[in-house]
Structure 1
Amino acid sequence: MNLGGSGEPHSLEADQVVSAIERACESDLRTALRLVARYSAYWWSNGLQDEAAAAAERVLSMLGRTVPVGLDEEYLLAVIHGAASAEQEQVELAQQVVLTSTGPFRYSVTVLLWSLVFGPFEPAAVVEDVLERNEAGDAWTRAAVELCRGYPGLTTAAPGDAAQSLRTALGRFRMLEDRWGMFLAVNALRQVVDEPLDVTTEALRLAEHLCLAEETGLLLCERAELYRRMGKLEDAHEDYGQALSIGEHADLPETVAAARVGLARTARGAGNLPAARAHLSAVLAIPGLELAHDEAILELAALNASEASA
C-alpha cells in the first residue's frame, strides 16, 4: 500500500501517533495535516477509527474552513476521519476536492475511505468516475477499487457483476494478507450471493480474528438464522447462544436482544415454548430497544398462537 511517504508508521503506538499530531497542531498545521494523511493507512489496518477521528477533529478545529494550498487530499482524508463532527462547510470543501480533481489519489487508502464514508451519498456516476481514476494504482488500491465496485449501494453494478468484483477484491486482499480488506469484501459478498452460509462463516472467522465483538455477535445471529431456516435447530441454538454470551460479556444490548429473539424462535421451533417465552420476556425487559421490542412482540404473538393450537 502506498502510504504517501517514507518510513514505517507501525513503529509508533496509537496514542503516540495522536500525541505527535497534537504537538504539530501547536506549531505547524501543515505538518499536522500531513501526519493525519500519513497515518490513515495505519489507522485503517489496525481498526483504530476512534484514534483517527480524534486526531482529525483536532486538526480540523484548528484549520477551520481553509484548505491549505497543495494539501487538498490531506484535507479530504482529515474530513473523512472526522466526518462525524466536521462542519458542513468542511464536508462541502472535501467534496469539492473530489469533484474538481481529475487524476488518481496520491494515498492508496483514500479511494476506499472516501467510497465508504461519502460514496453512499454521491451519485453512482461520481463513484464510478473516482474508481476509474484509481484503477491503475498499486496492488492494494486495485483491490480497494474492486471492493468498492461490488459494495452494495455504491455503484449500479448488477448483482452478478458485484459478486465477481467482490470475489476479485477478496482474492487480492488475501494475497496482500490484509484481513480488514478481506473482512469488508466477505461481509459485502454475503449480501449479494444466493447462498450466503459459507461466506457468512468466513466473515465470522475474520471478525473473530480481528477481535470485532459486535460484528462477531451479529454474524453469529445471521448464521444462526440461516441454520434455523434450514431446519438445523441445534446449530442455530449454538450460534445464538454464543452471540448471547458475547453480547452480555461486551455489554452489547442490541446483540443480546437479537440473540434472545433468535433463541426464542429456535425454542418455539423445537417445541420448547416455556424457554421461548423466557427469552422474549428478557428482551422486553431491556430498556431503549424499540425495534427489538417490536420483534419480541411479534414473536410473542406467534408463540401464543402456537400454544393456542397445541
Structure 2
Amino acid sequence: MDFGGGGGYDEQVVSSIEHACDTDPRTALRLVAEYSGYWWSSGLQDEAAAAAERVLSILGRTVPVGLDEEYLLTVLHGAASAEQEQLELAQQIVAATTGPFKYSVTVLLWALVFGPFESQAVVEEVLERNEDGDAWTRAAVELCRGYPGLTGAIPGEAAQALRTALGRFRMLDDRWGMFLALTALRDVVDDPVEVISEALELAEKLRADEESGLLLCQRGELHRHQGDLDAAGEDFSWALALAEHADLPETAAAAHIGLARTARCSGDLLTAREHLAVVLSRDSDELEDARYEAMHELNLLINSEASA
C-alpha cells in the first residue's frame, strides 16, 4: 500500500514505516507514534491515516506489550478504517491509563476522535490527567475544554478556554492549533465575522482549500444576514472559484446556493435561478442535501416572483 508522502522528510517517513511494516511491526508502531506530532503540525492527516491503516492491518487485534499508547495513537489516526475490535481496544487503553499520556498529541487526538462518544465526565477526567503537561499539551487541554460538546462548558467558559488555547498556540506558532481554536471560537462568540476572517487567513496559509471554502460560505452568509450583499457576493464567488479549482463539489454547491440567496435578496431573480439550476442539475448522492436546500431556496424564489 502506498500512503503518500512528498519530497525530503516526507519520503523518509514513508520509507521508514514501510520498511518497519515488513520487518518489525513494533518499530512501525513506534514510528507512527513518533511521527504523530510531525503529521499534526504539517496538516498531513491523510498521510497519517494511511500509515496507521497499514500498521493496523499487520497488528490486527494484538497490542504489543509496552506499546499501549502507541497502539492507541495508531488507532486514532486510522479510526475511519479501523475494525470495531481495534476501536474497543483503544478505548480500553484509555480507561486503563491512570496518569498523563506519554505523547503530547494523544490527548487532543483522543478528544477529537473519541471524545464526542464519551461522557463529559470521562472527557474531563482525561483532560485533568494531562493539564500539567508541556506547553503544547496545556494548549490542547484548553482547546478541548472549549470545544463544542466535549465538556459541557457554557458559552462564556468555552470562549475563555478557547481564547486561552489560541494564545498558547500562537506562542508556539502552531497554525493548526490556532485554526482549530478559531473555528471552535466562532460558535461561541456573538459576532463571529472577525474570528472567521482570522481562521480564513490561516486556512489559506495552510493550503486547506476545503476549510477555506466552507469558511468563505459561512462568512458570506453572515454578511448576507447583516445586509452587506456586496461582501456576501464576494465571499460566495471566492468560495465557488476555489471549489471549482480544487474539485470540491459540495463546497461549490454551497457557494452556488449562497450566490442564489444573495441575488434573490438584491432582487436579481434571474441570476438566483441560474445558480440554483446548476445545483439541481447535478445528480450525485453526496449532493443530495445540497439539492434539497436548493429546492427550498427555489420555493422562496418562486414566492418572491409571485409577490413581485
> Which band: TM-score by shorter chain?
over 0.9
Q: Number of paired residues?
A: 300
In 1, the alpha carbon distance for the partners of 2:222 and 2:132 equals: 39
Deviations 1:277-302 (A, max 9, x none): 11111110122211111111111111
Residues 233-248 of structure 1: pairs in structure 2 closer than 5 A: 233-248=229-244
Partner of 1:270: 266
Partner of 2:164: 168
Residues 127-276 of structure 1: pairs in structure 2 closer than 5 A: 127-276=123-272
Deviations 1:154-202 (A, max 9, x none): 1111111011000000000001100000000000000111211111111
Q: Does 1:102 align with 2:87?
A: no
One of 85, 88, 92 as aligned partner of 1:92: 88
Q: Does 1:280 align with 2:281?
A: no
Q: Is the 1:224–1:236 contact (alpha carbons within 8 Å) kept by the matching residues of 2?
A: yes
SS in 2 for 1:39: helix
In 1, the alpha carbon distance for the partners of 2:25 and 2:302 equals: 64
Deviation >3 Å, runs of 4+: none
In 2, the alpha carbon distance for the partners of 1:105 and 1:248 equals: 42
Residue 69 of structure 1 and its aligned partner are, at CA, apart by: 0.9
Q: Is the 1:18–1:54 contact (alpha carbons within 8 Å) kept by the matching residues of 2?
A: no
The letter for the 1-side match of 2:220 is A
One of 52, 59, 71 as aligned partner of 1:63: 59
In 1, the alpha carbon distance for the partners of 2:71 and 2:293 equals: 43
Partner of 1:5: none
TM-score by length of 1: 0.95
Identity of aligned residues (%): 72
Deviations 1:107-153 (A, max 9, x none): 00000011101111111111100000000000000000000000001
Residue 12 of structure 1 and its aligned partner are, at CA, apart by: 5.2
In 1, the alpha carbon distance for the partners of 2:151 and 2:145 equals: 6
Partner of 1:46: 42
Between 18-27 and 163-172, report the one with greater CA deviation: 18-27
Q: Is the 1:109–1:141 contact (alpha carbons within 8 Å) kept by the matching residues of 2?
A: yes
Calculate the aligned-residue CA RMSD, in Å. 1.1
SS in 2 for 1:25: helix
SS in 1 for 2:189: coil
Partner of 1:3: none
One of 119, 126, 137 as aligned partner of 1:123: 119
In 1, the alpha carbon distance for the partners of 2:259 and 2:247 equals: 18
Any stretches of 5+ residues in structure 2 without a counterpart? 1-6
Bigger relative CO (Cα 8 Å, ≥ 6 apart): 1
Partner of 2:4: none
TM-score by length of 2: 0.95
